[in-house]
Structure formats: structure tokens, C-alpha cells
Structure 1
Amino acid sequence: MGSSAVTGLVVAVAVLAVATVFGVWRNRSDGRLRPVADGPMTMDPAAPRPLPSDDRPATLAADEAHPASEGTLRALGVDPATPVTLLQFSSAFCAPCRVTRRVLADVAGLVDGVTHLEVDAESHLDAVRALDIWRTPTTLIVAGGRIVSRAGGVPAKPQVLAAIAPLLDRAA
């Protein structure tokens, strides 16, 4: 076996290893609801903002110039008076979006005070940019007029129920 064959074999093994690590990471993180740092995502500018915490990932910069605002969420149909809104960004030919729609609609049908809104990402590009949406489906959980959690991919129904339970307790 020549040196070019060995080099090719090493490259192939390296590519397979990197692809495997990426696949495992993607599988573990897909659909997982993560808390959103309390930045400018609030619909009420007078709402108190908790201090940043190391265990809460900062997904958006907390500055006044960020385009995600009350107007963005309201334009998408989010009512700040609704205790919890499950805001789903979808696209036309997205099979996981259909599964997400069923999961979120089931949760909204089971739990009082929860609304499910589905938004076509292609028709709302300004909102997609403002809310830092990178893929479909993406689910945002909005409570008290601010985004508190987000998931890229299909969230599990028990995970959504667990994420909204404390929000509904606070609203009651």
C-alpha cells in the first residue's frame, strides 16, 4: 500500500469520525427546549430583567438596537395577555414542521391558557431575522410578552408540557 493510499484512508477515517460526532451532537440537541437569555425580547420595556446567569445561554445580545421588539411579536399574532404562546416557525416542504404542528396543537388543546401560532418563515423574513431563526421548525415559547425558551427541531410533547407548567403556575 502506497503513501497516497494511506493518506486517503486517514482522510476517510477522519471525515467519518467528524461526521459521527456531528450526528451524535445534532441528534442530542435537536428538538430540545433551551432557555433564552432575557434580552430585548420582552414586549414590555418596563418589565424587570433578571441578571445574566452562566447556566442560561445568551442567544441574543441585550441591547436596545436589536430588532426583536414588541412590534415583531405582535405582528406575528402574539397577544401579551395570553399566558403562554407556542410560536412555531415552519416552511412549506418541511416534514418535521408537520410533526411539530401536531405536538404543539395537542399541547394547546390539552392545557388552558396555551395558544399555538404557526408562522410561515418564508413569508415573514424580517421576523425570522429579528428573532434569530436559523432553521425550521423552530419553536419559541412566549410567556408574559417575552420569549423564554426555544427549540430547533421537533420538541417532545412531555418536554413542552414540562417547560410551560411553571409559566402557567406564575400566570395563575
Structure 2
Amino acid sequence: MSPALALAVAAALLALATVVGIVLRRRDGRRLGGGNLRFDPADAASNGLGDRATLVQFSTEMCARCPQVRRLLRDYVSDHDGLTHVEVDLTHHPDLSTRYRVLQTPTTFLVDGTGAVRARFHGVPHRHALAEALAAV
């Protein structure tokens, strides 16, 4: 392979990686649809779902951003009546990542009182996106 061709391939890979990184970064923290999923409270080993809604956080032990999301969601729940926060550790229950289609941690679901997933957030959710999703429940 000629040096010019190798340089062109390397530049193309760098450009592709940059575009993919920008797209993923823009999706991070934004509200996505629930995808017709139902959350089973038994998977969280919690006392059940909140009266109005539940924020279900999927995390792992090695997740760097999960503690930040945990604090954010706990603060958000303390400001809203009928809202509960539960955390599911995928480190000890990897089968749940397949069942709920969780590809990265942290991932947060907004679940209504019946267990239907109304919204999902990848990464650190934006407060305004949480407010919009909760208003729709």
C-alpha cells in the first residue's frame, strides 16, 4: 500500500470516528421513546413503582457517570410528589440488559404507574428533558 493511500484511509477513519462521536454526544441525555417495553418492579428488588411514575436507573459497578446520575435523579425525585427512583445494577443481572435493550450505562427509564416505559435516556439526562417526559405521564 502506498503511503498516500494509507494516509487517505487514516484520514477517512478519523473523519468517520469524529462524525460518530458527535452524533452519539448529541443523543446523550435526550429523551427517547419507550419502545413498548414494560418494566417489572421485581427486577429492581424495590418496594414497587411510584404513585405517579418511577425513574429506573440501569448502572454497573464500573460506570463512571452512574454516581452523578444517581445524585441527579435522587434530587429530582425529592422535588416531585409521587415520583420514585430505583436503581438496577446490571453487573449482577446482565440478563436484564438484553430484556430491556440497555446498550450503555447509565440508562434511565421513566416508567408510569402501570410499568409501561414512557421515555428512556442514555447517559446523563437533562433536567428539562426529565420535566417534559414527566409532564407527559
Q: Same fold (TM over 0.5)?
A: yes
Which structure shows the higher strand fraction? 2
Partner of 2:121: 151
* Distance in 2, Cα, partners of 1:80 & 1:118: 12
How much has 1:129 moved relative to structure 2? 1.9
* Distance in 2, Cα, partners of 1:92 & 1:81: 25
CA RMSD in angstroms, aligned pairs only = 1.8
**Between the two proteins, what is the percent identity of the paired residues?**
36
Partner of 1:9: 7
Structure 2 residue 75 is the aligned partner of structure 1 residue 75: no
* Distance in 2, Cα, partners of 1:78 & 1:131: 20
**Conservation of the 8 A alpha-carbon contact between 1:107 and 1:161:** no
* Distance in 1, Cα, partners of 2:94 & 2:80: 30
The total of aligned residue pairs comes to 135
* Distance in 2, Cα, partners of 1:122 & 1:131: 14
Structure 2 residue 18 is the aligned partner of structure 1 residue 20: yes
Moved more, 148-157 or 120-129: 120-129
Partner of 1:100: 69
Structure 2 residue 108 is the aligned partner of structure 1 residue 139: yes
How much has 1:75 moved relative to structure 2? 3.1
* Distance in 2, Cα, partners of 1:34 & 1:86: 14
Higher relative contact order (CA 8 A, sep 6+): 2
**Max Rg structure:** 1
How much has 1:81 moved relative to structure 2? 5.7
* Distance in 1, Cα, partners of 2:74 & 2:120: 16
Structure 2 residue 27 is the aligned partner of structure 1 residue 29: yes
* Distance in 2, Cα, partners of 1:147 & 1:26: 22
For the residue of structure 2 that corresponds to 1:95, the secondary structure is coil
For the residue of structure 2 that corresponds to 1:24, the secondary structure is helix
* Distance in 2, Cα, partners of 1:146 & 1:93: 28
Structure 1: which 5+ residue stretches go unaligned?
Answer: 43-69, 168-172
